[in-house]
Amino acid sequence: MEQFKESVYQLIVETSTNLPPDVRRAIVKAQQQEDAGTRAALSLSTIAGNIETAEVNQSPICQDTGMPTFEIKTPVATNQLEMKQVIEEAIALATKNGILRPNSVDSLTGENTGNNLGPGAPVFHFEQWEKDEIELRLILKGGGCENKNIQYSLPCELEGIGRASRDLDGIRKCILHSVYQAQGQGCSAGFIGVGVGGDRTTGYALAKEQLFRTVDDVNPIESLAKLEDYIMEKANELGIGTMGFGGQATLLGCKVGVLNRLPASFFVSVAYNCWAYRRQGITVDPQSGLIKAWLYKDGEVKMSTGTDQQAANGRERKEVIELEAPITEEKIRSLEVGDVVMINGPMYTGRDALHKHLTENDSPVDLNGGVLYHCGPVMLKDDKDEWQVKAAGPTTSIREEPYQADLIKKFGIRAVIGKGGMGARTLAALKEHGGVYLNAIGGAAQYYAQCIEKVEGVDFLEFGIPEAMWHLRVKGFTAIVTMDANGNSLHADVEKSSLEKLADLRDPVF
Question: Which residues are at the interface with ligand SF4 (CB under 6 A)?
Answer: 62, 64, 66, 142, 144-145, 186-187, 274, 276, 393, 442-443
CB of 236 to ligand SF4, least distance (A): 19
CB of 509 to ligand SF4, least distance (A): 30
CB of 37 to ligand LMR, least distance (A): 27
Closest by CA position to 165, among listed 234, 270, 266:
266
Indicate the residue whose CB is closest to ligand LMR.
144
CB of 349 to ligand SF4, least distance (A): 14
CB of 62 to ligand SF4, least distance (A): 3
Please choose which of ligand SF4, ligand LMR, none residue 435 contacts, taking the beta carbon within 5 to 8 angstroms, the exact cut-off set by kind: none
3-state secondary structure at position 137 = strand
Please choose which of ligand SF4, ligand LMR, none residue 489 contacts, taking the beta carbon within 5 to 8 angstroms, the exact cut-off set by kind: none
CB of 191 to ligand LMR, least distance (A): 14
Query: Which residue, 250 or 396, is less far from ligand LMR as judged by CB?
Result: 396
Query: Which residue, 64 or 71, is less far from ligand LMR as judged by CB?
Result: 64
Query: Which residue, 144 or 350, is less far from ligand LMR as judged by CB?
Result: 144
Please choose which of ligand SF4, ligand LMR, none residue 376 contacts, taking the beta carbon within 5 to 8 angstroms, the exact cut-off set by kind: ligand LMR
3-state secondary structure at position 67 = strand
Query: Which residue, 182 or 505, is less far from ligand SF4 as judged by CB?
Result: 182
* Whole-Å CA distances, 508 to 171, 177, 223, 270, 444: 11, 14, 15, 21, 39
Please choose which of ligand LMR, ligand SF4, none residue 505 contacts, taking the beta carbon within 5 to 8 angstroms, the exact cut-off set by kind: none
Are the beta carbons of 413 and 407 closer than 8 angstroms?
yes
Helix intervals (H) in 321-433: 329-333, 352-360, 401-411, 424-433
Interatomic CA distance for residues 477 and 323, integer angstroms? 10
Closest by CA position to 59, among listed 378, 286, 331, 349:
378
Query: Which residue, 160 or 420, is less far from ligand LMR as judged by CB?
Result: 420
Q: Give the bridge partners for 270, in sequence order.
A: 150, 194
Interatomic CA distance for residues 489 and 443, integer angstroms? 22
Please choose which of ligand LMR, ligand SF4, none residue 27 contacts, taking the beta carbon within 5 to 8 angstroms, the exact cut-off set by kind: none
Query: Which residue, 144 or 241, is less far from ligand SF4 as judged by CB?
Result: 144
The length of the chain, given as a count of residues = 510
Please choose which of ligand SF4, ligand LMR, none residue 276 contacts, taking the beta carbon within 5 to 8 angstroms, the exact cut-off set by kind: ligand SF4
Are the beta carbons of 182 and 190 closer than 8 angstroms?
yes
CB of 330 to ligand LMR, least distance (A): 32
CA distance from start to end of the chain: 52
Interface residue list for ligand LMR (CB under 6 A) = 63-64, 142-144, 376, 395-396, 442
Query: Which residue, 142 or 281, is less far from ligand SF4 as judged by CB?
Result: 142
3-state secondary structure at position 34 = coil
Closest by CA position to 396, among listed 104, 53, 62, 111:
62
Are the beta carbons of 17 and 54 closer than 8 angstroms?
yes
